[in-house]
Amino acid sequence: MRSWKAFIIAAALAIAAADPASAQQTHPTRELAADAARQPYDVRTFGVFRKLMLEGDFSAKVPLADVMEKHPTTGIGAVADARGEISIYDGKLIVSYGTPGGRPDGATDSAALLAMGSAREWESVTVERDIAPEEMESHLAATAKSRGIDPEKSFPFQGRGVIAPYAMHVNAAPTGGSHGMGLPMAITVERKGWEIEGRVAGLYVSADLMGIATHGGERIHAHWVAPDGMATAHLDRWGLKAGTVLLLPKR
């Protein structure tokens, strides 16, 4: 008869093999390589969004220094321990913390969640009319399709101009304690308004990455980046003003 120790080890290995998300947490580099093999534009993910939201899993998944060695053009994510937000815009890393005392150099920190991709060249598309928040997903999919990009697959995108309206936040700290499904797992610094100038860093993802790189049921994960590139925040709700420029991977 097997010892209890051997039984526990065997059970743990079986669970990890049956749960891809669990395997990703344990072997982020291996899972990253698998993502790269099946996703266009070198789209890669670390961590699982639904675990962050429902279980409060803000544990470190990857050092940002390792991420930047891969030279992604676009990325969005959350700082480990629910302390801030991460964006990559045009290859530049931007980290914002919700409270004073964050690390002076964000590149020395780690991500609890990160989704990123790369475009060798961008195509600029001017938004011809105001796009309401509830239209963003369909508008982005249709615009991408019109430029020869398959909207059933993942792709990075960027934007510059006026975001209107908007609601965004920066994580400040974990809430601690137990929470029911859907309750926030982090203390956040929130900001909202009718319009704000800036840039957008984002990913539009395939169905298999919904709930991993994005909120469950959503195709887009996007962050606001300040015009000077010195601050960022997670976009909870956002639209675009006419005249804003969307940047899509050039085919």
Tens digits of residue pLDDT in 44-93: 999 999 988 888 889 999 999 999 999 999 999 999 999 999 999 999 99
Distance CA 60, CA 53 (A): 15
Please give the pLDDT value at position 15.
34
Residue 11 has pLDDT above 70, yes or no: no
Distance CA 206, CA 48 (A): 15
**Tens of pLDDT along 98-139?**
887 666 677 889 999 999 999 999 999 999 999 999 999 999
What CATH fold (topology level) applies to the domain 4-117? 60s Ribosomal Protein L30; Chain: A; (3.30.1330)
Q: Locate tokens 């995108």: which residue?
A: 157
Mean pLDDT of the chain: 84
Same fold, 4-117 and 122-249: yes
Distance CA 251, CA 92 (A): 23
Please give the pLDDT value at position 104.
64
Please give the pLDDT value at position 100.
75
Domain residues of the chain, as ranges? 4-117, 122-249
Q: Which is more confident, 166 or 98?
A: 166
Nearest Cα neighbor of 44 from 147, 122, 118 is 118
User: Which of the four pLDDT bands, split at 50, 70 and 90, describes residue 175?
Assistant: confident
Distance CA 130, CA 139 (A): 11
Q: Is 211 helix (H, G, I), strand (E, B) or coil?
A: coil
Cα distances from 152 to residues 95, 126, 211, in angstroms, run 30, 22, 15
Q: Using an 8 Å Cβ cutoff, are 245 and 141 in contact? A: no
- Counting residues of the chain whose pLDDT is more than 70, the rounded percentage is 79
Q: Which is more confident, 199 or 17?
A: 199
> Which class in CATH covers the domain with range 122-249?
alpha beta
Mean pLDDT across the stretch 2-27? 39
Q: Which is more confident, 8 or 25?
A: 25
Whether this prediction's pTM lies above 0.85 is answered by: no
Distance CA 230, CA 223 (A): 13
Please give the pLDDT value at position 99.
85
